Chains A and B, each alone.
Chain A
């Protein structure tokens, strides 16, 4: 008896030690994810307040001011049509944030619905998951660029194509999480008291798979920003006069021999920092919401 309680004490102490270690780690991880969140927030604010931040219109072309180096008038320089690069980068944030957020939101919602229904029975599982497998089998960039070619260059179509590309991944995660949640006793209990399957699905399973889906949403956001920049860089994304980081980079590539480095550096920095912010935020969020994945 005495020995047993001693052992119990020892175990409790060890557990407490472990927990203390965990919280310190968590705070550290959280600090990093807070930095990530701050970066994302700043980008969103830049997108919202673009007209306040940049007084010059991103569309005003001044032929006399072609390819100017950064100066006090144009702090990011000008492009080959004499448009202000600072303004174009700032307004480009709008495109990236709208595309990234919409793709994240739509693919998370769709993926969750598909994943939930796939978890209900074998037949729907087979049909839905085979479609997802088929979509996943086509390399991401190829699928996106082909859809763009078919649908036509437009922001709306960029969002549609990238949602099609990232939904299968979310659906897969939502499905496996839903299958795990289904095994719980409380689901069995709900079945026993005669709850309708749709009620169990939406009131009891759905809220419990939200955490991994939200984590996937941040990663879908990040990859949509990269993909939009890549599509616009290839000339298959947002149509030409609309400012987008990818299209500024494309122009920078065309003038690489004129050493127009400002056309590469600034949109490049904005792209990289946004993606970094989202990745940091997503990593932190995963550690916090979805400890099982580690």
Chain B
């Protein structure tokens, strides 16, 4: 197991290197001079030169990269040009929590919705239940989260007034308010992943139930409940872990749009606002942090594979 863990962790390093190169070059893809793009057309040449110097853009590109990555390792993402030189790292820190809360809540909703429904569809294959679940899943996959969010907002916030239209209430404002402010965004975000999970749960359940060892267990007269919990569940764990990992990654990515729609001050809102203000330092930092999170989730999923299925460790 130790060797497996080390191997997995080492395999992440090249990916992180490529990510850092991509994120670093994003700033340099701006057409023309970056500083004048940030400051706009009315800026004087001195201002542009000063900003170029401050951002280190007048140095050779390799030095710029080394400086930048060195600072990133120390947790220093520079300062925001647009919002009064606030440290980018502290902006990230305040915007990180709402995104995690939203993605976690969305994931919870989709797991509680999808796993039972997917299993039901597999158990009653070819019946109305199965077709119903499959249709809902297909519709869910075809419905972009912001579209569902707009519909939910119109119905439950504007017409029925059960939930606030937008705005985010932190824990400190009271648990009920906090959960209420995140419920509509979480449903809009979670539904698509619920659909995806339902499909995969159904398919993997069917595969396991049709396998020889389950037939064998049935033939031996093992109780149905034991078959499901001990034989089928353990063998479909790999799929469950994969799907949950993928959905979490998807939810973190999809949060960008949903956060902006519902005014949740998360990483998504931060990047959208920063784009309008041409605050490239913040954009870089958000992309890098989210990619890091993404890679870590994938790494954890890989490590869990090793725990759940010992065969994987040997490959």
Contacts and interface: CB of A to CB of B under 8 A. Distances in A.
Given A272-B142, A275-B144, A145 B271 contact: yes
A141 B253 contact: yes
Contact of B19 (A134, A145, A150, A252): A134
Contact of A233 (B17, B31, B257, B291): B257
Main secondary structure of the interface of A (DSSP, over half): helix
A260 B163 CA distance: 19
Interface in A130-168: 130-131, 133-135, 137-143, 145-152
A117 interface: no
A220 to B, nearest CB: 15
A142 B253 contact: yes
Nearest to B267: A142
A271 B144 contact: yes
Nearest to A279: B142
B43 interface: no
Interface in A154-213: none
Contacts of A138: 19, 22-23, 287, 290-291, 294
B308 interface: no
Contacts of B14: 130, 133
Contacts of B291: 137-139
B111 interface: no
Interface string B16-51: 011101110011011100000000000000000000
Nearest to A32: B138
A134 B12 CA distance: 10
B257 A230 contact: yes
A149 B275 contact: yes
Contact of B147 (A130, A152, A272): A272
Nearest to B23: A138
B57 interface: no
B158 A137 contact: no
Contacts of A236: 272, 275
B151 interface: yes
B261 interface: yes
Nearest to A263: B150
B249 interface: yes
Contacts of B26: 146-147, 150
Interface residues of A, number: 43
Interface in A52-68: none
Chain A CB within 10 Å, residue with most, of B142, B271, B283? B142
A73 B242 CA distance: 52
A70 interface: no
B260 A234 contact: yes
B257 A130 contact: no
Contacts of B257: 141, 230, 233-234
A139 B253 contact: yes
A252 to B, nearest CB: 7
Choose among B154, B159, B272 the residue with the greatest number of A CB atoms under 10 Å from its CB: B154
A256 B159 CA distance: 10
Nearest to A249: B150
B141 A140 contact: no
B153 interface: yes
B253 A279 contact: no
B165 interface: yes
A268 B22 contact: no
A191 B141 CA distance: 44
Interface in B247-283: 249, 252-254, 256-257, 260-261, 268, 271-272, 275-276, 278, 283
B146 A233 contact: yes
B147 A139 contact: no
Contact of A145 (B22, B154, B275): B275
Given A131-B18, A142-B286, A145-B275, A276 B144 contact: no
A97 B86 CA distance: 42
Given A140-B253, A142-B253, A145-B271, A256 B153 contact: yes
Interface in B132-164: 138-139, 141-144, 146-147, 150-151, 153-154, 158-159
Contacts of A259: 154, 158-159
A90 interface: no
12 contacts: A137-B19, A145-B271, A145-B272, A147-B26, A222-B142, A226-B144, A234-B272, A235-B276, A236-B272, A256-B154, A259-B158, A272-B144
Given A229-B147, A256-B154, A257-B158, 12 more contacts: A130-B14, A134-B21, A138-B287, A146-B275, A150-B29, A236-B272, A236-B275, A253-B150, A264-B150, A264-B154, A272-B142, A272-B143
